[in-house]
Amino acid sequence: MPSDPDSSHTHVPSPGVAGLAHDLRLACMRISRRVRFESPSEVGPHHFSVLARLASNPQPLGDLAELERVRAPSMSKTVAGLVDLGLVQRDPDPTDGRVVVISLTDWGRNTLSTERAQRDVWMATRLEGLTPHEKAVLREATALLERVVSQ
């Protein structure tokens, strides 16, 4: 139970948008933090994030670096680690000899699914006891959050 380092500042109860923004931001960050801290995980956050990027499509190393907002040498090292773990593979690009395409191995895809499932379990466990009305509110809120975050 990691407590929340960003929750202890005084603010007025919640009048307008500002109060809602504050409270909602903190609630989301708390959920996020606890999912990351408390879901059992075989791979570190950086490895997990790269695996997730590769779930839909193989990617050239450079694109992967840009998506993850790190430099090419950093991604090169991360990928080397993932290759050693058997989670991804490097292949030459047939149309451009300079490019190295990274893709999930079967074991990597399996590992990714397991990790994701464990994160969902953490959340589902905590939603079990809610009433149908409360679940409906959260469902509606989820759609709103998705809209808001995609702005």
67: contact with its own copies by CB under 8 A: yes
54: contact with DNA by CB under 7 A: no
Report what 148 binds from its own copies, DNA, none; CB cut-off 5-8 Å by kind.
its own copies
Give the number of other CB atoms < 10 A from CB of residue 54. 21
**What are the tokens at 29?**
């960050």
d(CA 92, CA 3) in angstroms, rounded, equals 46
With CB under 8 A as the contact rule, the residue among 74, 110, 113, 114 that binds its own copies is: 113
With CB under 7 A as the contact rule, the residue among 70, 89, 103, 119 that binds DNA is: 70
Burial class of residue 148 in the structure, from the number of CB atoms within 10 Å of its CB (0-12 exposed, 13-18 middle, 19+ buried): exposed
42 CB-near residues (< 8 Å, 6+ apart):
111, 114, 115
Residues near its own copies (CB under 8 A) = 2-3, 5-9, 14, 17-18, 20-25, 27-35, 37, 48-50, 52-53, 55-56, 67-69, 112-113, 116, 119-124, 126-128, 130, 134-135, 137-142, 144-146, 148-149, 151
